Chain A
Amino acid sequence: MADQVLDVKGLNCPLPILRAKKALKDVTVGGTLEVIATDPGAVKDFEAFCRTTGHELLESKTEGKVFSFVIKRTA
């Protein structure tokens, strides 16, 4: 289970990324954040976000119209 869960369902770009960035500040280094979104763009966005920031994208799931991501804070 992720340390923190962030629900950004119904929010559109760039809010999922911005809210996730904010939420990650409260996650300890090494801890995880689960993000639940409905914005289809978020799939590629979180991949790019993790590549650029160095955080790890542990999981990216699609269930119908809901996308969930688990991000590990690396620094």
Chain B
Amino acid sequence: MADDTNTKRMSMIVTKGTLDWAYPPFILATTAAAMGLEVTMFFTFYGLTLLKKKLDLKISTLGNPAMEMPMFGMHIGMPNLVSALPGVDAAATTMMKNLIKKKGVASIEELRSMALEADVKMIACQMTMDLFEYTKDDMIEGPVLGGAATYIETATKSDINLFI
């Protein structure tokens, strides 16, 4: 197949762990891998939650002024204030999960398995694992531990470097 000099590489730093922010890294990683790129994902801070064995991803209406949920045939914006009401964020999360299922969008679990199957390299930031007191046991099999220098080296050899 393609020899090493022709293979493109992509790296990404994944810093967020909400349901909406989980999609861009996994969609890009799996698609790039399907198109023949070598992909490395470096998970740090809240991105670490995407590596947990049991995923329980949520979204919040807080800080998402551009969020508009398709409801009653319209797009309804979600003001920051409503997130303070009990149950609103949980309802928004449920709504999002239902939309995802209804529209035939892959679940994060599925995308994550596909990424691993496609040999996407996953690195968990050692420092933030320590910071949040996560252990390797909390995480799925596959990711290795690494630090900033590990990421930088990968990035110097990559054609595409993304910060998500």
Contact = CB atoms under 8 A, between A and B. Distances in A.
Interface of A: 10-15, 17-18, 20-21, 39, 48-49, 52-54, 75
B62 interface: no
Nearest to A51: B35
Given A52-B36, A53-B36, A75-B1, A18 B31 contact: yes
Contacts of A13: 27, 105
A75 B104 CA distance: 30
Contacts of A10: 104
A17 B31 contact: yes
Contacts of B31: 14, 17-18
Contact of B35 (A11, A12, A49): A49
Contacts of B34: 14, 17-18, 20-21, 49
A18 B36 contact: no
A14 B114 CA distance: 11
A12 B106 CA distance: 7
Interface in B78-116: 103-106, 111, 114
Contacts of B35: 17, 48-49, 52-53
Nearest to A45: B31
Contacts of B111: 14
Interface string B104-131: 1110000100100000000000000000
Contacts of B114: 18
A52 B106 CA distance: 23
Given A52-B35, A52-B36, A53-B36, A12 B30 contact: no
